Amino acid sequence: MDYNKRRIRKRNKLICSFFLFNSIGINEVIIIKTYYLEKMDKPMPIIGKIKLEKDNCKIYLNLEKEKNIQKVINKLIKNEASNVVLSKELSENKNLINALNANGINIFDGRWLIKYISIQILDYIIQQEKFKKEETEIAITTNEITDLVIETIKILAKQYRRITVVTNYIEKLRKIEKDIYDKEGILITISNNPKKSLTRAKIILNFDFNKIILNKYNINETATILNLEGNMKIENKRFNGININDYEIEVGREEIIWRENMQKFRTKDLLEAVLYMKDTYNNIRSKIGKNKVIIKELYGINGKIERFS
């Protein structure tokens, strides 16, 4: 089955992806929709307590009640929603988030975007914490050796002279290690020693280690940890570094993400919804750069890092 994919994005209109299938002379169009969900203040309308206006989903229901959350889910499913962006208020509603996940509705929450701006975030940490880049040891923790991970390692190896990659799949990275040394003359360390691998790292870029795996390692007690998957807690009571689980950005080209009541949404979520696509690492990084993304704040356990702090 052959198909062509074309993404269309227009301000104040549904964000859709069109997949055109050609099978036995029949064209089938599947539309993937994104809705922006926000909780509305009273007065509550007599009818239409969940209103869809273009790509806005305005909710007048009390979402503390499980039956009302289900009504929202049913409305989204009926209207073939594939993705949602949640307002700041709704992003705190764990029951709504669980219901969306259980029904296969993707939430744009900045987790896809952070993987492509992680290098920029590291630069931000270096600047705000007044570290010396040439003296800062970076550790990368990952067990999923993807193209994105490999490209990130290559870029960081040129910027930092002390790089350790911590993984269970050491042999998969041997070729990358050799390529970096042959082309750049830079040595990176590949390790999986729970007692030593993370004890000297000033910054840890955690791609995909979960709580169970990461907490098996001895971690530098003053390290700054950037968790790309979020929701990380370090169990060692002596750890007093900054454990970053969330972030916010500013976008220089605000017209790209502009919409009614945009102040109710997180900028990172709005930009992710606009940029999300399957493409090469370099192409996505280029598109992010054109939108003049600036790191605004990093939120973590034991503190946050913000400009001019």
pLDDT in tens, 58-92: 999 999 999 999 999 999 999 999 999 999 999 99
Query: Worst-scoring range by mean pLDDT, 47-56, 120-129, 291-300?
Result: 47-56
pLDDT at 148: 95
- The answer, as to whether pTM is greater than 0.75, is yes
Q: How far apart are the C-alpha atoms of 194 and 257, rounded to whole Å?
A: 43
Share of the chain residues as helix, strand and coil, in percent rounded to the nearest 5: 35, 30, 35
Please choose, from the candidates 280, 309, 303, 260, the residue with its C-alpha nearest in 3D space to the C-alpha of residue 51: 260
Q: Over the stretch 15-31, which tens digit does the pLDDT of each residue have?
A: 444 333 333 444 444 45
Report residue 12's pLDDT band, with 50, 70 and 90 as the boundaries: very low
Q: Using the structure block, give the residue that is written with the tokens 């193209």.
A: 147
pLDDT at 46: 64
Task: Identify the H or E element spanning 37.
Answer: strand 26-39
Please choose, from the candidates 221, 214, 150, the residue with its C-alpha nearest in 3D space to the C-alpha of residue 188: 150
With respect to CATH, is domain 111-248+287-306 assigned 3.40.50? Answer: yes
Report residue 278's pLDDT band, with 50, 70 and 90 as the boundaries: confident
pLDDT at 88: 97
Give the CA distances from residue 23 to residues 3, 17, 69, in Å, rounded to whole numbers and listed in that order.
Answer: 9, 19, 38
Distant-in-sequence, close-in-space partners of 192: CB < 8 Å, separation ≥ 6: 166, 167, 168, 170
Report residue 282's pLDDT band, with 50, 70 and 90 as the boundaries: very high
Task: Identify the H or E element spanning 179.
Answer: helix 174-184
pLDDT at 125: 96
Range among 214-218, 254-258, 276-280 rated most confident: 214-218
Mean of pLDDT values over 191-207: 96
Q: How far apart are the C-alpha atoms of 188 and 64, rounded to whole Å?
A: 51
pLDDT at 32: 61
Cis peptide before 45 (omega within 30 of 0): no
pLDDT surpasses 50 at 37: yes
Q: Using the structure block, give the residue that is written with the tokens 């900045």.
A: 110
Tokens coding 176: 């990358």
Residue 88 backbone dihedrals phi, psi, to 5 degrees:
-55, -40
User: How many Cα neighbours within 13 Å face the side chain of 195?
Assistant: 0
Radius of gyration (C-alpha) of the chain in whole angstroms: 22
Name the residue with higher pLDDT: 87 or 44: 87
Mean of pLDDT values over 106-129: 96
pLDDT at 8: 33
Mean of pLDDT values over 156-184: 91
Please choose, from the candidates 193, 139, 194, 133, the residue with its C-alpha nearest in 3D space to the C-alpha of residue 165: 139
Mean of pLDDT values over 285-303: 90
Q: How far apart are the C-alpha atoms of 208 and 171, rounded to whole Å?
A: 18
Q: Kindly list the domain boundaries of the chain, sorted by start residue.
A: 2-107, 111-248+287-306
pLDDT at 300: 87
Amino acid code (one letter) for 286: S
